[in-house]
Amino acid sequence: MDNIQIVLNYFSEYGLVFLFLIVFLEYMNLPGLPAGIIMPAAGILIAGNDMDFITALVISVIAGLFGSYVLYFIGYFLGKPILDKFYEKYEKIRPSINKAISYTDKHGSKGVFIARLIPVARTLVSLTVGTVRMNFLTFTIYSVFGITIWNLIFIYMGYAFGYFFLK
């Protein structure tokens, strides 16, 4: 519960700039607060402060895309050595990386969309498809749909809670 309060405090103080930053970092798979805390907390504050839901959603999708682009280009330019370092340093993440790779191998570009809806794989898929040099526009299109659905669900959960219980 303390993590949610921290997010709420920062979001209250910095608004949508904080939302952009925290979602950007989360989609780069950096340690910190997971989307399951960030997005609902944002939704609660949007409802509680009469902010525009669609604006917050769009900002979160853009932030998610930019964070995904960073990992995509790391994979694109540094490739397999980066994945090998991930495997060495974070052995527990290996199944998630392998799952992201298998979805894109099995389903092609649709695998990006599918992986975007699976925790952990949704952020790591950017690195893996960058490594195999998936077409950037295709990656972007399928990412937009997956990121939008993920963010919409989590932000709306918080928004609905805030709307019904805080007003």
pLDDT at 76: 93
3-state secondary structure 111-140: HHHHHCCCCCHHHHHHHHHHHCCCCHHHHH
pLDDT at 32: 66
Answer whether 0.75 is exceeded by the pTM: yes
Distance of CA 4 to the CA centre of its chain: 17
Residue-wise DSSP of 50-83: T--HHHHHHHHHHHHHHHHHHHHHHHHHH-HHHH
Structure letter (DSSP) for residue 31: S
* End-to-end C-alpha distance for the chain, whole angstroms: 21
Give the three-class secondary structure for 23.
helix
pLDDT value at 161 more than 60 = yes
Give residue-wise pLDDT tens across range 13-47: 887 888 898 889 888 877 666 777 778 888 888 88
Share above pLDDT 70 across residues of the chain, in percent, rounded to a whole number: 94
Number of folded domains that form the chain: 1
Q: Which domain holds residue 128?
A: 2-165
Give residue-wise pLDDT tens across range 96-118: 777 777 777 788 888 899 888 88
